[in-house]
Each structure stands twice: as C-alpha cells, then as structure tokens.
Amino acid sequence: MSAPFRSENFLDPQGALVDEPSYLRGWSGRPTLMAAAHRHDDLEINFVAGGGSMLYLYGGELLEVAVGGLAVFWAAIPHQLVASRATRVHWLHVPFDQFLAWGLPQPLLARVLSGVPVITPAARADASDPAKFTQWAADLAAGDDELHRIAMLEIQARVRRLALATVGDPAHRHAGDDPALRQAVSMARYIAHHFREPITVADVAAAAYVHPTYAMTQFRKVVRTTIGDYVKLYRLAEARRLLVTTDLPASQVAAAAGFGSVSRFYRAFTDACGTTPARFRHRRVL
C-alpha cells in the first residue's frame, strides 16, 4: 500500500521480502489504495470491520469485500486494492508452509491455489468475527508462544468454517462503473487467462478494444505497472504453484508457466524470490 500503517496490536509486514522467515503476521487500520499490484507468498485473510466495502483487482477480476465480510486468498496472485470505503480492516498473513500443513479439504486447497478467492457476502457475515480478530490481535502482540499457537489454531478453524459456509460459491465479482477501470480489468482478465501463452501488448490491447499505445497508458494509470511486468507476476505465481504442487522438473515448469526459456525463468524467479526454483521447492514441499 502507498503508506504503511499499524495498530498497537499488529505487526505491519509492509515491504517484507518474499522469502523472509515464516511467521503469522497481521495488522489493522484504515486501508489506503495500493500504489501498484503486488504479490507475496502466503495466505491472506481480510476482514472489513467498519465503514464500507473494499474493491480488489485480483486474478483479472474486480472483487468486492463488503463491510462485515471476510476474504481469503492466495496472495501470490497479483492483487491491488483499487477502491475502498472501509474505515477499519484487519489483515492476517498466514505463512504458506503453515497453510499447506493445515491439510485443508482438497476442494478448498485447489480453489485457493488456482487463484479463486473465498469471500463471505455481508448477508452471511459471522457476528463473532470482530471479537475473534480483536482477540487474535491481542494474542499475537503478547509475545507468548502458547497464545500464538492458540491464535493459529483458531484462525485455521475459522478458514475451515468459511470453506464449509461458502462451498460451491462463485467469486464475488464487481462490475465497476469507471471506463478506465473497466478497460484495465478487461486487459488484466485477458492476462490472467492467457499468461501461459506468448502474448503481446497488441493481444492484451485487443481484449479491451483499444490501441496498444493507449492500452499501455491506461493499464499503467490504473494498475501502476506495465503490461509486461504484470504478465511476469502471473508467470511467477504459476511457477511457484507448480513447484509446490507438482514434481515437474524446472524446464517443464518454465514452459508451463509461460517463460520462453529455462534461463529466462531462472533469472526472473531468482530476481523476484531471492532463491532458485529448486531451493524454493525444497523449503515448501507438501
């Protein structure tokens, strides 16, 4: 986000590197719009406690999290907060290793890792969530290992209940009424569906029915990054997913994720993740 913020209870993890030491992190406060799409390797949980809804560009779609709503998604998928009327939000980042170790039901695991978030609509909000998130904040701030373990167990239980309550639900998408935002979403959606292919800026522009030069300008204006860098974010997310969930060799991971060559894949992955694909897989194997 453009300016980090913290509460007295939550550690603000803004600016953290992808391969930092794994621990449960979180913070709370009034959200600010994100300067650009970003990604980080953990399970992100958002709870909108007050004000109005938040609007994310995630996975090529606009997703709305209403006040009282809870959202769970894999943050390795590029995402960006583009609009918000929320006055208070709680965020939790669960380490990816811990998330996998939970042994969640396969349908939920497959949904999250495929880039489809789980979101509760306001009509089905859990009245106990405000108290739960407040308690978790206090437990995490206490510096007590046992309280930390209790919080982690309770967060896992909340995610499991969320999965039961929303099984079969589609992602909550938002139509949007800003022409520039609609064009950017059309381009982001095309990238989300075609990043494995050797796509060009012209291909992406055609999805929004605009000229390539205009497309690059509009996309950067809304998403705050270039089309090429956004495609790379998706390819890296897919590579990370394949490294964790399959035994494919690196050469096949590179091809399946859309990288034109193994050397390009290794260079991009190491630059972004601070480690090689082999080491990443070794540390996060199921």
When comparing pLDDT for 16 and 68, which is higher?
68
Angle at 242 between CA 91 and CA 234, to 5 degrees: 60
Residues 107, 161 within the same domain: yes
Q: Which domain CATH number covers 207? A: 1.10.10.60
Which helix (DSSP H) or strand (DSSP E) does residue 37 occupy? none
Number of domain units in the chain: 2
Helix, strand, coil % (nearest 5) of the chain? 45, 20, 35
When comparing pLDDT for 103 and 1, which is higher?
103
Residues 155, 246 within the same domain: no
Is residue 7, in this structure, part of any structural domain at all?
Answer: no
When comparing pLDDT for 32 and 13, which is higher?
32
Q: What is the pLDDT, as a whole number, of residue 257?
A: 94
Mean pLDDT of the chain, nearest integer:
81
Residues 118, 244 within the same domain: no
| pLDDT one-digit tens code per residue, 136-158 | 988 888 888 899 899 999 999 99
Q: What is the pLDDT, as a whole number, of residue 153?
A: 93
Residue reference for tokens 């990370």: 240
Residues 57, 121 within the same domain: yes
| pLDDT one-digit tens code per residue, 101-142 | 787 887 777 778 777 888 887 777 788 999 999 899 888 888
pTM of the full predicted structure? 0.64
Where among 124, 143, 166 does a domain terminate? Answer: 166
The arithmetic mean of pLDDT across residues 175-204, rounded, is: 83
Where among 103, 136, 166 does a domain terminate? Answer: 166
Residues 186, 105 within the same domain: no
Is residue 247, in this structure, part of any structural domain at all?
Answer: yes
Whole-number Å distance between alpha carbons of 15 and 204 = 30
Is residue 192, in this structure, part of any structural domain at all?
Answer: yes
Residues 126, 162 within the same domain: yes
Whether pLDDT at 285 is above 60: no
- The DSSP-derived string for 128-185 is THHHHHHHHHHHHHTT-HHHHHHHHHHHHHHHHHHHHHHTTPPP-B-----HHHHHHH
Domain that holds residue 273: 179-284
Is residue 195, in this structure, part of any structural domain at all?
Answer: yes
Give the sign of the dihedral formed by CA 261, CA 262, CA 266, CA 272: positive
Residues 156, 184 within the same domain: no
Is residue 34, in this structure, part of any structural domain at all?
Answer: yes
